[in-house]
C-alpha cells in the first residue's frame, strides 16, 4: 500500500507524514523535503498532479493549498492551486480506476456573513473569501466523485490549527500562532488584532489524529455527505497570551490592524460538531493543552 501526501513539507503535512511512518508514504510538495520517498513538483501543473496517482496509491491525503491571505492576494494562483489541482488529483484517481480513499483538508473559511456562535453542523456555508469558495467547491466535487464510485472521499473542515513553528505563512489567522510562539522564543510581538478577538482552535496533534481517523472510517458511516466539520474551541487573543505569559521571555502588545480585524470579526468564533463527536473525532480540551502539546513537540524536535 502506498499513501500519497500532498503539501508534505508544510506544517500539517510534515507532522502527518511523521505520524504515518515514511516507509509507505509518497510525499510531494514544492518545498524541501527529507522524507524517504519524496517528489518535488508544482501541483498547479496538471500533468504533474495527474502523474501522482498510480494503481499502487490506496490513500491520498490532499493538504496542499495556497492559504487564505495568499489566495486573496493572487486570485489566479489560488484558483490553480486550491481548485484546479484538486480536480486534477480527483481526475487522476478516476482514471486510475481503483477508487482510492481521498482525504481532503477543507476549512471553516467556507463560512461567512452573519454567523451563529458557535458554528454547527447546521450552519450553511457562505464563503466571503476566495479560499473558502475554493474549499467549498472541492467538497462538492469530492461528494460527486464519491457518489459515482471514482474515489472514497472524505473532507475535514479545519478550524485554526496551532501552534505553527517557524515563519508565519499567508494565513489571516497566522497571528494566533505568532502570539504564542514569539514570546516563548524571547521575542516581543505586536498582535494585529484586539485582545478580545476570538477564533476556533484545534491543536496540531488533534488534527493529525483526525486525518488518520478520517481515512479509517467506513464509507457507510459518512453517507453521501463526505464533509465533517471539526470542533474548534473558542480562544481569545488575551487567553492565548495569558496561557504563555508566565513562561514567556518576550512581551505582547496589541495594535489592531483595521483590515485584518474586520476579517477576523467575521470568522467563526467557535465550531461545535455533534457529527464529528459521534464519528469519533476529538477536540482540544483547552488553550493550555494546545500550548503544552506545542512545548512538548518543541522539546522533541
DSSP notation for 110-176: G--SS--SSEETTSPP---SHHHHHHHHHHHHHHHHHHTTS-EEEEEEE-EEE---SS--S-TTHHH
Task: Say yes or no: 21 and 53 in one domain.
Answer: yes
Task: Say yes or no: 131 and 207 in one domain.
Answer: yes
Task: Say yes or no: 223 and 155 in one domain.
Answer: yes
Helix then strand then coil, % of the chain, to nearest 5: 45, 20, 35
Task: Say yes or no: 79 and 139 in one domain.
Answer: yes
| Per-chain mean pLDDT for the chain | 93
- Residue 141 sits in a domain whose CATH number is 3.40.50.720
Task: Say yes or no: 150 and 264 in one domain.
Answer: no
Task: Say yes or no: 31 and 43 in one domain.
Answer: yes
CA 157 – CA 50 distance, rounded (Å): 24
Task: Say yes or no: 54 and 140 in one domain.
Answer: yes
Task: Say yes or no: 69 and 88 in one domain.
Answer: yes
Mean pLDDT of 110-119: 94
Range in 16-25, 126-135, 136-145, 269-278 the model is least confident about: 16-25
CB 177 within 8 A of CB 168: yes
Beta carbons within 8 Å of 180's beta carbon, 6+ residues apart: 162, 163, 240, 243, 244, 291, 294
Confidence of residue 298 (pLDDT cuts 50, 70, 90): confident
Look at the chain and report how many structural domains it folds into: 2
**Segment 258-293, tens digit of pLDDT:** 999 998 998 899 999 999 999 999 999 999 999 999
Q: Please tell me the predicted confidence (pLDDT) of residue 243.
A: 96
Task: Say yes or no: 188 and 97 in one domain.
Answer: no
Is it the case that residue 68 has pLDDT exceeding 80?
no
Q: Please tell me the predicted confidence (pLDDT) of residue 167.
A: 67
Q: Please tell me the predicted confidence (pLDDT) of residue 58.
A: 96
Task: Say yes or no: 121 and 184 in one domain.
Answer: no
**Segment 156-197, tens digit of pLDDT:** 999 999 998 876 655 778 899 999 999 999 999 999 999 999
- pTM to 2 decimal places: 0.93
Q: Please tell me the predicted confidence (pLDDT) of residue 38.
A: 85
Across 120-159, b (16+ Cβ under 10 Å) vs e yields beebebebebbbbbbbbbbbebbbebbeeebbbbbbbbbb
Percent of the chain at pLDDT > 70 equals 97
Q: Please tell me the predicted confidence (pLDDT) of residue 190.
A: 95
Q: Please tell me the predicted confidence (pLDDT) of residue 41.
A: 87
Three cell numbers written together for 111: 463560512
**Segment 198-251, tens digit of pLDDT:** 999 999 999 999 999 999 999 999 999 999 999 999 999 999 999 999 999 999
**166 within some domain:** no
Q: Please tell me the predicted confidence (pLDDT) of residue 234.
A: 97
Task: Say yes or no: 208 and 264 in one domain.
Answer: no
Q: Please tell me the predicted confidence (pLDDT) of residue 168.
A: 60
Task: Tell me the catalytic residues.
Answer: 131
Q: Please tell me the predicted confidence (pLDDT) of residue 220.
A: 96
Task: Say yes or no: 21 and 35 in one domain.
Answer: yes
3-state class (DSSP) for residue 87: helix
CA atoms within 13 A of residue 95's CA, in its CB half-sphere: 12
Higher pLDDT, 73 or 211: 211
Domain range spanning residue 179?
A: 174-198+233-270+285-300
Residue 239 burial (C-beta neighbours within 10 Å; 0-12, 13-18, 19+): middle
Mean pLDDT of 39-51: 87
Q: Please tell me the predicted confidence (pLDDT) of residue 104.
A: 98
Q: Please tell me the predicted confidence (pLDDT) of residue 170.
A: 57
Amino acid at each position: 500500500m502506498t499513501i500519497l501526501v500532498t503539501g508534505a513539507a508544510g506544517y500539517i503535512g510534515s507532522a502527518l507524514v511523521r505520524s504515518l511512518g515514511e516507509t509507505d508514504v509518497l510525499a510531494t510538495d514544492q518545498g524541501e523535503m527529507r522524507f524517504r520517498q519524496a517528489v518535488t513538483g508544482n501541483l498547479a501543473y496538471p500533468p504533474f498532479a495527474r502523474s501522482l496517482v498510480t494503481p499502487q496509491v490506496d490513500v491520498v491525503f490532499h493538504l496542499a493549498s495556497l492559504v487564505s491571505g495568499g489566495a486573496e492576494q493572487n486570485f489566479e494562483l489560488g484558483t490553480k492551486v486550491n481548485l484546479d489541482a484538486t480536480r486534477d488529483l480527483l481526475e487522476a484517481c478516476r482514471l486510475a480506476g481503483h477508487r482510492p480513499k481521498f482525504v481532503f483538508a477543507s476549512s471553516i473559511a467556507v463560512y461567512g456573513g452573519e454567523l451563529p456562535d458557535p458554528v454547527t453542523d447546521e450552519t450553511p456555508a457562505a464563503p466571503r473569501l476566495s479560499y473558502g469558495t475554493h474549499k467549498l467547491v472541492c467538497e462538492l466535487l469530492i461528494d460527486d466523485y464519491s457518489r459515482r464510485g471514482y474515489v472514497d472521499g472524505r473532507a475535514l473542515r479545519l478550524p485554526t490549527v496551532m501552534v505553527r513553528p517557524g515563519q508565519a505563512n499567508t494565513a489571516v489567522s497566522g497571528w494566533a500562532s505568532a502570539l504564542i510562539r514569539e514570546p516563548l522564543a524571547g521575542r516581543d510581538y505586536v498582535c494585529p488584532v484586539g485582545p478580545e478577538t476570538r477564533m476556533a482552535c484545534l491543536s496540531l496533534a488533534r488534527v493529525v489524529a483526525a486525518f488518520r481517523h478520517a481515512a479509517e472510517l467506513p464509507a457507510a458511516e459518512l453517507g453521501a455527505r463526505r464533509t465533517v466539520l471539526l470542533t474548534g474551541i473558542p480562544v481569545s487573543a488575551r487567553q492565548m497570551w495569558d496561557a504563555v505569559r508566565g513562561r514567556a521571555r518576550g512581551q505582547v502588545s496589541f495594535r489592531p490592524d483595521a483590515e485584518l480585524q474586520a476579517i477576523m470579526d467575521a470568522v467563526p468564533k467557535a465550531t461545535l460538531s455533534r457529527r464529528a463527536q459521534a464519528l469519533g473525532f476529538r477536540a482540544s480540551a483547552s488553550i493550555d493543552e494546545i500550548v503544552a502539546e506545542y512545548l512538548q513537540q518543541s522539546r522533541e524536535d
